[in-house]
Amino acid sequence: MRLFFIGMLFLVSRFSFAQKYIGPQEDIDQILANAKNFSQYVMDSDYEMIGKSYTEDAKIFPNNRDILTGEEAILGYWHLPEGLETIHHKLMPEEIKVWGDEAYDYGYYEGKTKKANGEISSWKGKYVVVWRKENGDWKMYLDIWNGVK
Q: What is the pLDDT of residues 31-84, one digit of tens each?
A: 999 999 999 999 999 999 999 999 999 999 999 999 999 999 999 999 999 999
Residue 19 confidence class, pLDDT cut points 50, 70, 90: confident
Residue ranges per structural domain of the chain = 21-147
Q: What is the pLDDT at residue 142? A: 98
Top-level class of domain 21-147:
alpha beta
Of 134, 146, 147, 144, residue with least CA distance to 34: 134
Sheet holding 68-69, edge to edge: 20-22, 84-99, 102-115, 120-134, 137-147, 54-61, 68-69
CA dist., res. 80 & res. 13, Å (int): 40
Q: What is the pLDDT at residue 17? A: 53
Is 0.75 topped by the overall pTM?
yes
Residue 149 confidence class, pLDDT cut points 50, 70, 90: confident
Termini Cα distance of the chain: 39
